[in-house]
Structure 1
């Protein structure tokens, strides 16, 4: 079994992978995280923004969210992590994804006749409007307000990457594809 913290973090990353897969997007990961980015998520093909528009994301999790008004107060980034997401000096937009997970790992997922349920919910925030630290430290935390309105869904994830994305529409007839029989 995984250590509880590693398990929680892995589940949060897998939650984002499943959501991206449902949105028809591609997820890639650098072999080493030196840049403060867990994933690159991209839409394959052409858009008005060029080929394969993308975003970079840092995924964090919490099982004990601190909600205040219409946002979560998230204290899980140190100054160095924060500075790798803050500001506008990036060629690819960067986001913090916060996945709220149950306190008990055996509640992360449930299977019933309607399908697989992943718990709980993911949120996003851009830190482009915040200034990075000139000399960031790893021993000091930074509070980030993550709006509760910024729920990660198939549609919102697609629109973070390509604002012109249309919501997914269900096919007229059920599709039978490999692996679904």
Structure 2
């Protein structure tokens, strides 16, 4: 196939200007300025003075809120431990007679719920501490999210334990009908 202007094997002429020769291309190439070498710090530990200056009042308040939420979570965990193992107060709160149902323990589901709460609090505390050490701008949300997620999972486990008992399920259904 022959192109227009390709009579003797020449390249076609461009419509808008000429092709630059390699010498012309080299003349128009900009050479970047040399980059100075980067001086890496000897220590990976942050400067204590800079670290103290970095803790502004907003960051101190954020850390205080995170610690308060972790402390509240620990107290909630201590208070929730008996409730995950003994369903009688929960059944009484639902208006069901726990002595009539004969359910005295949540069994393995209650133990799993307690383990989830303990492991969840420990993981949340570790993640909060790690985010604080790495200098995250805000860490108060970590205990909030951790508390929500692990309490939700624990509540589901306790609900499975209660609803898997036919007597409790029947009593709840009878209560709904009346």
Q: By percentage of residues, which structure has more strand?
A: 1
Which category of TM-score, normalised to the shorter sequence, fits these structures?
Answer: under 0.3
Q: By percentage of residues, which structure has more helix?
A: 2
| Larger Rg, first or second structure (1 or 2) | 2
When the two structures are superposed, what TM-score results if normalisation uses the length of structure 1? 0.25
When the two structures are superposed, what TM-score results if normalisation uses the length of structure 2? 0.25
